[in-house]
Amino acid sequence: MHIEIDLFSDFICPWSYIGKHQLDAALARFSADRPEVAVRVRWTPYLLDPSIPVQGRPFRASLVAKAGGEAAADAMLAGIREAGREAGIDFAPERIEVQPNTLHAHRLIYKAQSDGLSPATVYELVEGIFSAHFSHGKNIGDPVVLGRIAGACGQDETAIRTYLLADDDVDAVNALARLGEAMGIGGVPCFVFNRRIVLPGAQPAAALVEAMHDCVASRQAADGLK
């Protein structure tokens, strides 16, 4: 028996990063409860703001404009820092200078999954991209930065940089990025279990574990009817 989780997320979304950590905790708990059930996570791209130019835009100015002022922006960041602490994430938005276009970051994960890299390596890549942006202020829209992240995860840094500087898989990733919208998903993160149970938002680990148990129960009930 297995469970498939399609996780729609974007690397500039702090709640997507928090949602990933909640999923990490949920998978550990579920694996302890049901070690015989395999769980496969598919990282599915979602572009929160496709209008961001390839070179990115100034982070602080973008945040202030979105929040409606300096004070509102600072309050938003304070809330994100607190939510991050609770999830075990050290958000450091003061280090972020560039609000990046995340297409290349999504292409990196798309390639990793398409090439059949191990789930552990894909997880390491995803964590590396999120951490580079939110904790270290790196421009994750830059192929050089992404190449270094991939290299730290055991990939060929030069080959990855070459791939990202070309246009391989751009159309495929953009098509996947539109899939969430077509499914009625209006924001990220969004967890879809076995194409049946949809949980929007950075759900607590307990809710994700419950959804996985529901998937098992549904499968067992269906098998009982055969």
Q: Average pLDDT for residues 20-24, to the nearest whole number? A: 97
What pLDDT does residue 148 have? 98
Q: Average pLDDT for residues 44-56, to the nearest whole number? A: 95
pTM of the shown model: 0.95
Residue 200 in 3-state DSSP? strand
Task: Give yes or no for residue 3 having a pLDDT over 60.
Answer: yes
What pLDDT does residue 210 have? 97
What pLDDT does residue 154 have? 96
Q: Average pLDDT for residues 4-30, to the nearest whole number? A: 97
Is it true that the peptide bond before 119 is cis, omega within 30 degrees of 0? no
Q: Report residue 142: phi and psi, to 5°.
A: -90, 120
DSSP labels, 6-38? EEEE-TT-HHHHHHHHHHHHHHHHHHHH-TTSE
Classify residue 93 by its DSSP letter. Answer: G
Task: Give yes or no for residue 226 having a pLDDT over 60.
Answer: no
- Give me the half-sphere count of Cα atoms (radius 13 Å) on the Cβ side of residue 172: 12
Express each pLDDT in 150-165 by its tens digit. Answer: 999 999 999 999 999 9
Task: Give yes or no for residue 225 having a pLDDT over 70.
Answer: no
**Amino acid found at 93:** P
Fold exhibited by the domain 2-225: Glutaredoxin (3.40.30)
Q: Average pLDDT for residues 184-200, to the nearest whole number? A: 95
Express each pLDDT in 90-134 by its tens digit. Answer: 999 999 999 999 999 999 999 999 999 999 999 999 999 999 999
On whether the CB atoms of residues 220 and 51 are closer than 8 A, the answer is no
**Amino acid found at 99:** Q
Distance of CA 68 to the CA centre of its chain: 26
Task: Locate the domains of the chain by residue range.
Answer: 2-225
